[in-house]
Structure 1
């Protein structure tokens, strides 16, 4: 097996934050950064000191509501200041955070709530025209539970992050008022009793290939991982960070909220990705940091109104995916003048961070790979050097297991602690990892393994292709062949036959898609991954 051990020393440890707890981090950030702006949401602007006070109030309300250390507390809401406050408040009170995907339907949310046995839920009111309260009520209407939702017997309280709530739920302001009788000293005693080795969150996998499973991650793993992330990315005090990545995902919560708390950066949460709104935010708030999937940055570069906005404050972009076109990296650097563009790779089961490029890496390394193993970890591929195989990782960042699921945990972990990621990748001689696909996405054409991500990367080189996803479909003669779902660039008249003919000049015959279907856009989940199950039907 190819293996790459850590290639650099860990960042200098900061004794006051050394692998402690998220609650301690919030308190110390409030003391260290005090009057510096912490969160900007519309006209609301709060300092780090004020954020610390709000989080303590939310923690007091959790204590008053009967939340015990280790209880699971869920949040089902978009990126907002209230999400930050209620989530950090629950974790400060000793709860284990369970973020719910905002794209979930009622039954999907109910599944995660039931599976995690969450006792308290914070939920948004209406978002994108959907009443989450009504959706959840319909999904959990039947059952024997005594709480507000009979189908969720463990869920005792639902708090609506809105001014008003139905009679059997609680409004956010009323919930906070319930904690007014809890002394600050009691909240701090509760926070101080939480061990760094205790679980801080359970992040359920996206479910793109099956039922979501909950990866259990500790406080220490979170803080250590995102101290490394912040150092390698070069996040600075005073940076202004537009957090478009959803908070329910580690890219939004940990590389966003937690990293900002560590470095004293200003958080500017954006609930929904809208290119025009992102451009306006960057200009108005002098945004300097904008992590996100490649599609986010591509849409900004191609937006017809881009030139009308001052984007000169942008200095740091971190992205990651199986396919990051080299021209995207080059355009970010040349057209927008962004000094640092980095790619990274992670998954929920490894605290969201496994490999990362380093500042100073050449553009071709940043575009073609996801960088090297982060300090304190090992990455290996189950194939000879230079050949594709399953990516496996071992180190401080790997989950303790899936929540109350020893069978799935045993499938995911080797006896000596390696996490089987389910991703296919190649390690180069310098230890840079190139993700080529998901094992489940690979298909076999007449005995040859075809990796969709590799094919997609080539198809994206066609000047009239804006986005593409390739899946395997049944074929009577070859077993399986590739089908490409393609989004054309505006004004393009590209035909399926023309694209197939072009692909035959660029790819081995077995890799060439036999079918091409044009779509207006690809179906993606909220973290930017293409939902290939939807394409396969």
Structure 2
């Protein structure tokens, strides 16, 4: 590696060209086919072919049990917190088949479901794969549905919708309150740890023991259209939608990813990952990527929170992977820790091929720091990218798969999908999609399914995007908010709330945890601010609003700078209120994916919304 490689990126001229020259893996350049219709609609698709895909997830297990039987498939930290529990591909296939046989012996078929109430874990994964192996769909749920009493209505709703024949928890004592619900009275409950159970439960070891059942016959009936799982999206109401996820959707999506990033097949990849499996990205994208390439999944019990990050850092020092997936706050916390933790820095970047963020835009300052660390450790960069997709798309539809040297781009279509863009006068485009990785519909909900697709069969995502360069589709798209989040001021002017929120989060980085754009039927755009931890004192509050002078002044100053040179009432924040209470999980202000439920926040905090538009309120920040 030449000395020139180590020049700081901001001094290297064309950052994208510099990144291409210094990325460690071989990448496929973006190649997009564009079609412009007479009505203004734009169609995009990849120019790369989509290869053959496995008929079901069990196919991957059989392949690697034969080709790499001793390769570690899954590992999680032992209960003593020091050692590791590891399962090879040979062992994983054996245990999956044993669990599958136990389910068949109980009479479970493709018409039944299994609810998984607890979070990520090795037993959870074995049960999930065992059920998929014999065609029984699993319903992985956010653990807070069970652990937080106020969230039980959502759990009860999902149980009533899915009607499971079996339910699983990792610890019966910890989930005792949920297991005592009458909705589970006639459901067999299986627990990895049975101590403290409020009712009779079956030890998970009983399922692992297997049964005298024709597991091969059951597996032979599992094809691409067999339902593999039902993922309930949190949405903005108290009634989640069950996304029917087939084996085809998951297996096709992995081939789409491999076709976009062929370096995935160059070796057995590894990830150390915390992303929850009730969410499509953690449970379908990341888990299945390891199974498809014969990789190693290290289950990280940590999270990007003040309490959980120490666990993540310890796991990354000991078992860092070749691929890294995280949300922006997770990468920010890692970057901060690496400043003073050389062991973490060395372990993380030593063998890293891919650094992948999703969920929001990664601050460019964090991106630049990660590039610097990678150069210091490896002398080259991992491919640094993002993508876009939904639970309904299994998930990837758009993906960056070439070095671009910047944050904020969500990519180009992966092979096999077609994207329909419907632009407005400002070239902001509603995005709709069609392809083999798109869901067949919502579980037992014909009305919502019918509304989800347009007259041409494209899935209506509700998201908006923009071209990086309107004349060059190969440069990709950027996310521009949710069409459904947009609202009108009392002047009739539309506010693009999602795009404005992303801009505000960038401007207020370091001061805020999140924000809510307000102003529906009002004369001005206002802002609810959830302050970053440690920025506000409990003593300086007034009726649920923060009155910390220094924080108020800092936010006012940055918002004024953001407004400078911006014309139009729909793009200017003129007032803000800092909220003393963080987003409430119990109050359903936070979805199981960690995003804000804006409607619930505005409804639950209606009094604060009125204060936001009271010019005499002492907590009001006037910009």
TM-score bin, normalised by smaller chain? 0.7 to 0.9
1:84/1:257 contact within 8 Å kept: no
Change (3 A) 1:418 1:210: farther
Q: Is the aligned partner of 1:293 residue 2:324? A: no
Q: CA deviation at 1:468?
A: 4.9
Q: Is the aligned partner of 1:530 residue 2:576? A: no
3-state SS, counterpart of residue 500 of structure 2: helix
Deviations 1:485-513 (A, max 9, x none): 24348679432432332332264443233
Map 1:332-481 to 2 at 5 A: 332-337=370-375, 338-360=381-403, 362-364=404-406, 367-384=407-424, 387-428=427-468, 429=470, 430-431=472-473, 432-445=476-489, 446-462=491-507, 465-474=510-519, 477-478=522-523, 481=525
Q: CA deviation at 1:389?
A: 3.5
Map 1:274-293 to 2 at 5 A: 274-293=308-327
2:279/2:593 contact within 8 Å kept: yes
The count of residues paired between Structure 1 and Structure 2 equals 510
Q: CA deviation at 1:171?
A: 1.9
Deviations 1:162-205 (A, max 9, x none): 2444542212123333x3333xxx21221112222222221111
Higher mean C-alpha deviation, range 419-428 or range 454-463:
454-463
Q: CA deviation at 1:441?
A: 2.0
3-state SS, counterpart of residue 440 of structure 1: helix
Counterpart for residue 204 of structure 2: 172
Counterpart selection for 2:217 from 184, 189, 194? 189
Counterpart selection for 1:217 from 240, 245, 268? 245
Normalising by structure 2, what TM-score? Answer: 0.76
Deviations 1:52-96 (A, max 9, x none): 111111111111222112321221221111111000001112101
Rounded to whole Å, the distance in 2 between the matches of 1:107 and 1:48 is: 39
**Dislocated runs of 4+, deviation >6 Å:** 489-492
Rounded to whole Å, the distance in 2 between the matches of 1:285 and 1:231 is: 27
Counterpart for residue 572 of structure 2: 512
Rounded to whole Å, the distance in 2 between the matches of 1:331 and 1:521 is: 29
Q: Is the aligned partner of 1:32 residue 2:93? A: no
1:204/1:214 contact within 8 Å kept: yes
Deviations 1:388-418 (A, max 9, x none): 2422111111111111111111111113211
Q: Is the aligned partner of 1:8 residue 2:57? A: no
2:505/2:514 contact within 8 Å kept: no
1:242/1:282 contact within 8 Å kept: yes
Counterpart for residue 255 of structure 1: 285
Counterpart for residue 206 of structure 1: 234
Counterpart selection for 1:321 from 335, 359, 364? 359
Map 1:259-278 to 2 at 5 A: 259-273=289-303, 274-278=308-312
Rounded to whole Å, the distance in 2 between the matches of 1:518 and 1:275 is: 25
Q: CA deviation at 1:354?
A: 1.3
Q: CA deviation at 1:260?
A: 0.5
1:378/1:394 contact within 8 Å kept: yes
Q: Is the aligned partner of 1:122 residue 2:168? A: yes
Counterpart selection for 2:349 from 312, 322, 333? 312
1:199/1:217 contact within 8 Å kept: yes
Rounded to whole Å, the distance in 1 between the matches of 2:130 and 2:91 is: 13
Change (3 A) 1:49 1:451: same
Change (3 A) 1:173 1:305: farther
Rounded to whole Å, the distance in 1 between the matches of 2:111 and 2:359 is: 33
1:425/1:434 contact within 8 Å kept: yes
Q: CA deviation at 1:100?
A: 0.9
Normalising by structure 1, what TM-score? Answer: 0.87
3-state SS, counterpart of residue 68 of structure 1: coil
Change (3 A) 1:490 1:332: farther
Q: CA deviation at 1:321?
A: 3.0
Q: CA deviation at 1:229?
A: 2.0
Counterpart for residue 87 of structure 1: 128
Rounded to whole Å, the distance in 2 between the matches of 1:489 and 1:160 is: 36
Q: CA deviation at 1:281?
A: 1.4
Deviations 1:129-161 (A, max 9, x none): x83232242xx32x7xxxxx34xxxx6311123
RMSD of aligned C-alpha atoms?
2.7
Higher mean C-alpha deviation, range 380-389 or range 66-75:
380-389
3-state SS, counterpart of residue 382 of structure 1: strand
Map 1:133-148 to 2 at 5 A: 133-137=176-180, 140-141=181-182
3-state SS, counterpart of residue 349 of structure 2: coil
3-state SS, counterpart of residue 290 of structure 1: strand
2:249/2:393 contact within 8 Å kept: no
Q: Is the aligned partner of 1:503 residue 2:546? A: no
Rounded to whole Å, the distance in 1 between the matches of 2:517 and 2:389 is: 25
Change (3 A) 1:29 1:250: farther
1:426/1:435 contact within 8 Å kept: yes
Rounded to whole Å, the distance in 2 between the matches of 1:208 and 1:136 is: 26
1:93/1:190 contact within 8 Å kept: yes
Rounded to whole Å, the distance in 1 between the matches of 2:580 and 2:384 is: 29
3-state SS, counterpart of residue 204 of structure 1: strand
